[in-house]
Amino acid sequence: MRTSKPASAVLTLALAVLVLSFSISVPILFRPFYYIQIRTLQLPQQTGWSEEVIRQAYDDVLDFCVLGKPFATGELLWSESGRSHFADVRVLFLADFAALALSACVSGVLLILGRLGRVRFCRTLGRGPFFWAGILPAAFTLAVAGLASLNFNAAFTVFHAIFFPGKDNWLFDPTTDQIILVMPETFFRNCAILIGVVMLLCCVGLIVADLTRTRRRAPLSPTQAE
C-alpha cells in the first residue's frame, strides 16, 4: 500500500488542533482550578466577599459561557456591557469545544483506518504525524510563552485586540461589573500557564509515541539478528 501524504497532513493538523483545543478547555471545564486560587490569591481578604459568594459568582458566569444558562454573577453587580463581553467569550468557548470534538473525530477515524490497514501515513524526514503534531504546537507554545513573559500586560491586550476586534467591553469598570474583582489578571496569567503546561505535556506524549513506534519498526542489525 502506498503512503498517503494528504492523510498524513490531515492527521498532523487534526492532532495539533486536538492538543490546542484540549489544553484550552482544561481551565474552562476544571473549575477547581479557580476554586484553589480563591484562597491562594486571597480574594476574600482583598474584596471583602466570602469564598462562597466569590465561588457562586464564578460558577454563574461559567454556567452562562459553557452551558448557556441566563447570565448572572451571584450577589455581585453586573452591567449590560459586561454581559455582552461574556456573550463574546461564550462564542469563543463554543468554538473551542467544536474544534475539540471535530479534531478528535477526524483523528480517531484516521487512526482507526490506519490500524485496519486502509491507509498508510507517510513519514516526513523520518518522522510520522505524531511527531510533527507534537513539535508544531510545542514550538508555538514556547514562542508565545517567551513573548508573554516579557510583558504579560501587553500580551493580554494584544490577545483581546485579536479575539475581540473593535470592542472595548472587556475593559471592566469594577464599580459596575464587580466580577472583575474576583477574576484578576493574575488568574488569567495562571490560566495561560496551565494551558501551556498541558499543551507541552501532550506534545511530549505525541513525540515519545512516535519515537517509540519508530524503534519498534526499526529493522534489526545483523548483530542483533544473531
How many helical (H) and strand (E) elements, i.e. helices and strands, does the chain have? 9, 0
Q: With CA atoms as reference, report the closest residue to 44 among 61, 56, 32.
A: 56
Each residue's pLDDT tens digit, 164-188:
998 999 999 999 999 999 999 999 9
Q: Is 96 exposed, middle or buried (0-12, 13-18, 19+ CB in 10 A)?
A: middle
Residue 220 has pLDDT above 50, yes or no: no
**What is the span of the domain harbouring residue 99?**
5-225
- 8 A C-beta contact, residue 73 and residue 57: yes
Each residue's pLDDT tens digit, 6-58:
899 999 999 999 999 999 999 999 999 999 999 999 999 999 999 999 999 99
Mean pLDDT for 207-226 is 62
* Global pTM exceeds 0.85: yes
- 8 A C-beta contact, residue 172 and residue 96: no
Each residue's pLDDT tens digit, 103-155:
999 999 999 998 888 888 888 888 889 999 999 889 988 888 888 888 888 88
Length of the chain: 226
CA distance 189 to 204: 23
Distance of CA 151 to the CA centre of its chain: 21
Torsion angles phi and psi, residue 124, rounded to 5: -90, 125
How many Cβ atoms sit within 10 Å of the Cβ of residue 123? 16
pLDDT the model gives residue 217: 58
CA distance 192 to 33: 12
- DSSP for residue 67: I
Q: What's the structural domain count of the chain?
A: 1
Q: State the greatest distance between any 2 C-alpha atoms of the chain, in Å, as a whole number.
A: 78
Residue 162, classed as helix, strand or coil, is helix
User: Of the given ranges (2-6, 50-54, 92-96), which has the lowest mean pLDDT?
Assistant: 2-6
3 or 129, higher pLDDT: 129
Radius of gyration of the chain (CA): 22
pLDDT the model gives residue 1: 56
CA distance 66 to 91: 9
